Amino acid sequence: MGRGEFGNSKRSALCLSALFMTFLLPLASAAGGGAVIDVSSFSLEDFATTEQSTYELEFSIVELLSSSADVEVRVELSSLDGNVFESMSQNLTLSADSSQNLQFSITSLPYGYTVVGVELIGELGSPNSTQAVSINRTLQRLQPVQMSLATEGQILLNGLTPEGALTGNVSLHDGDYLQTEIAVINDGDYAWSGSLSSSLQSNGMYDNQTTSVFSVSPLSSTILLVNSTISLSEGTASIALALNDSGDGNSADESRLVSFQVDPPPLPVISLSVDFLSLDALAGEAISWNLTVENTGSQDFDGNLVCTFGNQVLFDSSIQVPAQSSTSELLTSTSRPSLLACSVSGMRIADHSVATVSFAYDVDSAAFESAGSTTPALLNGPWHKGDMAVFSMLVRNHGELSGRVSLVCESNGQSYVSQELFLEMNAAGEVTVELPLSVEGEQTVNWSLSSPDGSIDSGLNGTLIVPVEVQQTLTPLIHSVSWDAEDGVQFEWSLEMSEGIDRAVRIRLGYVESGLEVYPLDYEIMISEGLLNGSQTLGFIDADRVSIRATPVNWSTGFGFSSHSLGVPDARPSYNIEFNPLSVPNRPIPGDTGSVNVLVTNVGDVKGSTGYLVLSTDEGTFLGEKPTAALESNSQSSYAFSFPWPDGQSASLKVTWVVGLESFDAANTFQSGEVAVVEESFQVPWFGLLGGVLLAVGVGAVIRIYQNRETTPTKVKDEEKSKRSSSKTTSSKNVEKIQIGCPECARQLRVPSDYGGQVRCPDCETRFEVTPRSGHNHDEVESVEEEIPAEDTETETDGKVELHCPECQQSLRIPLGYAGSIRCPACEEVFSAVDESEA
What pLDDT, in 10s, does the model give residues 65-75? 889 999 999 99
Q: Is the separation of the CB atoms in 327 and 321 below 8 Å?
A: yes
Q: What whole-number distance in Å separates Cα of residue 270 and Cα of residue 275? A: 17
**806 cis-preceded (ω within 30 degrees of 0):** no
Q: Is the separation of the CB atoms in 117 and 76 below 8 Å?
A: yes
Q: Which amino acid is at 170?
A: V
pLDDT reported for residue 698: 66
pLDDT tier at 715, thresholds 50, 70, 90: very low
What's the pTM value of the predicted model, to 2 decimals?
0.40
CA quadruple 618, 619, 623, 625: dihedral positive or negative? positive
pLDDT tier at 750, thresholds 50, 70, 90: confident
pLDDT tier at 508, thresholds 50, 70, 90: very high
Beta carbons within 10 angstroms of residue 488's beta carbon: 18
- The residue that leads in pLDDT, 64 or 30, is 64
* Among 277-291, 467-481, 792-806, the least confident range: 792-806
Q: Is the separation of the CB atoms in 398 and 451 below 8 Å?
A: no
pLDDT tier at 722, thresholds 50, 70, 90: very low
Angle at 653 between CA 651 and CA 654, to 5 degrees: 170
pLDDT tier at 181, thresholds 50, 70, 90: very high
pLDDT tier at 534, thresholds 50, 70, 90: very high
pLDDT reported for residue 697: 67
Give 624-632 contacts, CB < 8 A, sequence gap 24+.
628/600, 628/657, 628/659, 630/485, 630/486, 631/573, 631/575, 631/600, 631/601, 631/602, 631/607, 632/602, 632/607, 632/608
3-state secondary structure of 702: helix
pLDDT reported for residue 838: 55
Per-residue pLDDT reduced to its tens digit, 385-434: 888 899 999 999 998 889 999 999 999 889 999 999 999 999 999 999 99
Helix (DSSP H) and strand (DSSP E) numbers for the chain: 6, 59
Q: Does the pLDDT at position 498 exceed 50? A: yes
The 3-class secondary structure across 175-235, one letter per residue, is: CCEEEEEEEEEECCCCCEEECEEEEEEECCEEEEEECCCEEECCCEEEEEEEEEEEECCCE
pLDDT tier at 3, thresholds 50, 70, 90: very low
Q: What whole-number distance in Å separates Cα of residue 377 and Cα of residue 412? A: 20
- Looking at every residue in the chain, the average pLDDT score rounds to 82
> Number of C-alpha atoms within 13 angstroms, CB side, residue 596?
33
Per-residue pLDDT reduced to its tens digit, 444-481: 999 999 888 888 888 889 999 999 988 888 999 999 99
pLDDT reported for residue 533: 92
Q: What whole-number distance in Å separates Cα of residue 752 and Cα of residue 731? A: 9
- Kindly give, in sequence order, each residue whose CB lies less than 8 Å from that of residue 510, ignoring residues fewer than 6 positions away: 517, 518, 519, 520, 521, 538, 546, 547
Mean pLDDT value across residues 754-766? 75
R_g of the chain computed on alpha carbons: 61
- Kindly give, in sequence order, each residue whose CB lies less than 8 Å from that of residue 835, ignoring residues fewer than 6 positions away: none
Q: Tell me how far apart the 2 most distant CA atoms of the chain are, in Å.
A: 188
- Burial of residue 478 (CB within 10 Å: 0-12, 13-18, 19+) is buried
Q: Does the pLDDT at position 152 exceed 80? A: yes
Q: Which amino acid is at 439?
A: V
Cα separations in angstroms, 622 against 533, 599, 748: 51, 19, 27
Cα separations in angstroms, 586 against 20, 424, 748, 811, 826: 118, 111, 10, 16, 12
Q: Does the pLDDT at position 714 exceed 50? A: no
Mean pLDDT value across residues 297-318? 90
